Chain A
Amino acid sequence: MAIRDKLSGNEAVAVAMRQINPDVVAAFPITPSTEVPQYFSSFVSNGLVDTEFVAVESEHSAMSACIGAQAAGARTMTATSANGMALMWEMLYIAASCRLPIVMSLVTRALSGPINIHNDHSDAMGARDSGWIQLFGESNQEAYDNVIMAVRIGEHKDVQLPVMNCYDGFITSHAVENIELLEDEKVKAFVGEYKPQHYLLNKDEAIAIGPLDIPSYYFEHKRSQAQGMRNAKKVILEVAEEFEKLTGRKYGLFEEYKMDDAERAIVVLGSTAGTAKFVVDQLRAQGEKVGLVKIRVFRPFPAEELAEALSHCKAIAVMDKSDGFNGKGAPVFNEVRSALYDVENKPAIINYIYGLGGRDVRSTDIEKVYSDLAQIVQTGKAEDPYRYLGVVDANDIDVAAEAAATRE
Chain B
Amino acid sequence: MAYNFKATAEKPDRLTGGHRMCAGCGAPVVVRTVLRALKEEDKAVISSATGCLEVSTFLYPYTAWKDSFIHSAFENSAANIAGVEAAYESMKRQGKIDETYKFIAFGGDGGTYDIGIQALSGAMERGHDMVYVCYDNGAYMNTGIQRSSATPKYADTTTSPAGKVVPGKQQYRKDLTQIMVGHGIPYVAQSAPMKNFKDLYEKSEKAIYTPGPAFLNVLAPCPRGWRYDTPRLMEMCEIAVDTCFWPLYEVENGVFKLTYKPRNKRPISDWLEAQGRFRHIVKRPEIVEEIQAEVDQRWNALLTLCGEEA
Contact A72 B72 (CB under 8 A): no
**Can you identify 22 A-B contacts, CB atoms within 8 angstroms?**
A50-B93, A52-B93, A56-B122, A64-B72, A64-B80, A64-B83, A66-B83, A67-B83, A68-B72, A68-B81, A69-B87, A74-B87, A91-B76, A98-B72, A201-B68, A201-B91, A207-B68, A208-B58, A208-B70, A209-B69, A213-B60, A214-B59
Q: Give Cα distance in the complex from A67 to B84, angstroms.
A: 8
Chain B residues near A (Cβ < 8 Å): 43, 45, 47, 54-55, 58-61, 63, 65-73, 75-76, 79-91, 93-94, 96-99, 101, 118-119, 121-123, 125-126
CB-based nearest B residue for A203: B99
**Which residues of A sit under 8 angstroms from B93, Cβ to Cβ?**
50, 52
Q: Give Cα distance in the complex from A408 to B72, angstroms.
A: 48
Contact A23 B122 (CB under 8 A): no
Q: Give Cα distance in the complex from A31 to B109, angstroms.
A: 34
Contact A60 B75 (CB under 8 A): yes
Q: Give Cα distance in the complex from A16 to B40, angstroms.
A: 42
Q: Give Cα distance in the complex from A90 to B69, angstroms.
A: 20
How many cross-chain pairs have Cβ atoms below 8 Å apart between A and B?
167
Contact A210 B97 (CB under 8 A): no
CB-based nearest A residue for B88: A201
Q: Give Cα distance in the complex from A90 to B116, angstroms.
A: 14
**Which residues of B sit under 8 angstroms from A91, Cβ to Cβ?**
72-73, 76
Q: Give Cα distance in the complex from A94 to B197, angstroms.
A: 37
**Which residues of B sit under 8 angstroms from A210, Cβ to Cβ?**
58, 70-72
Q: Give Cα distance in the complex from A291 to B85, angstroms.
A: 51
- Interface size range on A against B: 35 or more
**Which residues of B sit under 8 angstroms from A60, Cβ to Cβ?**
75-76, 79, 118-119
Partner among A26, A50, A207 whose Cβ is within 8 Å of the Cβ of B86: A26
**Which residues of A sit under 8 angstroms from B70, Cβ to Cβ?**
67-68, 71, 200, 208-210
- A51, CB-defined interface residue at 8 Å: yes
Contact B83 A65 (CB under 8 A): yes
Contact B101 A69 (CB under 8 A): no
User: Apart from A57-B125, A65-B79, A69-B83, what 11 extra A-B contacts exist at CB < 8 Å?
Assistant: A56-B126, A64-B72, A68-B80, A72-B84, A74-B86, A201-B87, A201-B88, A201-B91, A201-B97, A208-B63, A212-B58
Partner among B71, B90, B126 whose Cβ is within 8 Å of the Cβ of A24: B90
**Contact A206-B68, Cβ < 8 Å, known A52-B90, A56-B122, A60-B76:** yes
**Contact A52-B87, Cβ < 8 Å, known A91-B73, A209-B71:** yes
Q: Give Cα distance in the complex from A356 to B125, angstroms.
A: 38
| A100 nearest CB across to chain B (Å) | 10
**Contact A68-B47, Cβ < 8 Å, known A56-B79, A211-B63:** yes
**Which residues of A sit under 8 angstroms from B60, Cβ to Cβ?**
211-214, 217
CB-based nearest B residue for A26: B83
Contact B61 A217 (CB under 8 A): yes
Q: Give Cα distance in the complex from A217 to B89, angstroms.
A: 35
Q: Give Cα distance in the complex from A94 to B87, angstroms.
A: 19
Q: Give Cα distance in the complex from A210 to B125, angstroms.
A: 26
Contact B71 A61 (CB under 8 A): no
- A54, CB-defined interface residue at 8 Å: yes
Contact A201 B47 (CB under 8 A): no
Chain A residues near B (Cβ < 8 Å): 23-24, 26, 50-52, 54-58, 60-61, 64-74, 76, 90-91, 94, 98, 200-203, 206-214, 217
Contact A67 B72 (CB under 8 A): yes
Contact B59 A200 (CB under 8 A): no
**Which residues of B sit under 8 angstroms from A94, Cβ to Cβ?**
72-73
Contact B68 A67 (CB under 8 A): no
Contact B84 A211 (CB under 8 A): no
**Which residues of A sit under 8 angstroms from B121, Cβ to Cβ?**
57
| B71 nearest CB across to chain A (Å) | 4
**Which residues of B sit under 8 angstroms from A201, Cβ to Cβ?**
45, 68, 84, 87-88, 91, 97, 101
**Which residues of B sit under 8 angstroms from A51, Cβ to Cβ?**
90
Partner among A54, A74, A208 whose Cβ is within 8 Å of the Cβ of B69: A208
**Which residues of A sit under 8 angstroms from B118, Cβ to Cβ?**
57-58, 60-61
CB-based nearest A residue for B74: A90
Interface-centre pick from B43, B60, B68 (highest chain A CB count, 10 A)? B68
| A369 nearest CB across to chain B (Å) | 43
**Which residues of A sit under 8 angstroms from B101, Cβ to Cβ?**
201
**Contact A73-B80, Cβ < 8 Å, known A61-B122, A203-B97:** no
Kindly list the 7 A-B residue pairs having the minimum CB-CB distance in the complex, ordered from nearest: A68-B83, A57-B122, A65-B83, A74-B87, A72-B87, A64-B79, A61-B79
